[in-house]
Amino acid sequence: MKTSPLFVQSLEKAFRVLDAFDGSERFLGLAEIAARTGLDKSAVQRFAYTLERLGFLDKCPKTRRLALGQKGLDLAFNFLRTHPLVEAATPTLVELRRSCGERVNLSLFDGTTLIYVIRERARREYFYSSLIGRRMPTFCTAGGRAMLACLPEQEAAEIVARSELKPLTARTIIDPAAIMTKIAEARVAGYTVSAEESTIGELTVAAAVRDGDGRPLAAVHIAGSLGDWALDEFERRFAPLAVETALNLGRFESTAPAAAGGMAS
């Protein structure tokens, strides 16, 4: 990988150690971290010791295995509290949740993935659906396709080509041509709907929040259950709400100071 002279490789390696904790296991040993990062065990030991001293890793006193520390939450908190779109969207999504009675989310665009930054819960929820910071693929999520539809077709196709097209459920569409068809439909409609592509039993409608140049910043999602809604009825009821909310947030973004910005694509 070609890097700038300003690129600090030791810092990059430290972040690779933190990124090793991206699976279902809370605790990892030094050998496991080394295997996941490609670093030698002695380097992992040095980075892990420093990160532990700084509070970004915790060590179990009994097993000596490592877990993510609470210090990382400070970074997430500071990101969220200073992000102008998150601040503006929070009361809007609270009101949207009250009016529609279903789960509503705001995700930020980050190329091949989106990341949830606001989660307003509905009556029945599973654990992951209540957590902010979760990343999901753009290619198979309603919000992801809505945001990809804001891009020129070639740019959207390049992002799909870079994506890891692994199915999340038996209904996930992974054929690139079929994905591009869904994106084209979203470009015409101004929103998109998905059914059980990321979670079994879940329906989602989403619309993109655009910046002043029309590029995607975020997406407003409304999610419901197949046990409560038929797909057509869900789309008729909630697509206009998602579109209206996204448009209103886009108007805020277009009048915000240029320094506010959004996540890079």
Domain boundaries, the chain: 9-69, 75-255
| Chain segment 117-149, per-residue pLDDT in tens | 999 887 666 666 678 899 999 999 999 999 999
Q: What mean pLDDT, rounded, does the chain reach? A: 91
Which residues share a beta bridge with 120? 104
Mean of the pLDDT values across residues 226-245?
A: 96
* pLDDT band, very low/low/confident/very high, at 31 (cuts 50, 70, 90): very high
- Share of residues in the chain with pLDDT > 70 (%): 91
Q: What is the pLDDT of residue 264?
A: 38
| CA-based nearest residue to 147, from 173, 176, 109 | 109
The matching CATH number, chosen from 1.10.10.10, 3.30.420.40, 1.10.3720.10, 3.30.300.30, for 9-69 is: 1.10.10.10
> b/e for 203-221, b at 16 or more Cβ within 10 A?
bbbbbbbbbeeebbbbbbb
CA distance 204 to 100: 13
Task: Tell me: pLDDT of 161 over 70.
Answer: yes
* pLDDT band, very low/low/confident/very high, at 256 (cuts 50, 70, 90): low
CB atoms within 10 A of CB 239: 19
Q: What is the pLDDT of residue 150?
A: 97
Mean of the pLDDT values across residues 12-22?
A: 94
CB 178 within 8 A of CB 186: no
| Chain segment 62-118, per-residue pLDDT in tens | 999 999 999 999 999 999 999 999 999 999 999 999 999 999 999 999 999 999 999
DSSP state of 24: S
CB 198 within 8 A of CB 142: no
Task: Tell me: pLDDT of 265 over 50.
Answer: no
CB 242 within 8 A of CB 191: yes
The matching CATH number, chosen from 3.30.450.40, 3.40.50.2300, 3.40.220.10, 3.30.950.10, for 75-255 is: 3.30.450.40
Structure token digits, residue 151 = 């891009």
* pLDDT band, very low/low/confident/very high, at 203 (cuts 50, 70, 90): very high
Q: If 0-12 CB within 10 Å is exposed, 13-18 middle and 19+ buried, where does residue 14 land? A: buried
Indicate if the alpha-carbon torsion angle 25, 28, 32, 33 is positive or negative. Answer: positive
3-state helix, strand, coil in the chain (%, to 5): 45, 20, 35
Find tokens 């038929």 and name the residue: 230
| CA-based nearest residue to 26, from 66, 53, 63, 55 | 66
Mean of the pLDDT values across residues 187-214?
A: 96
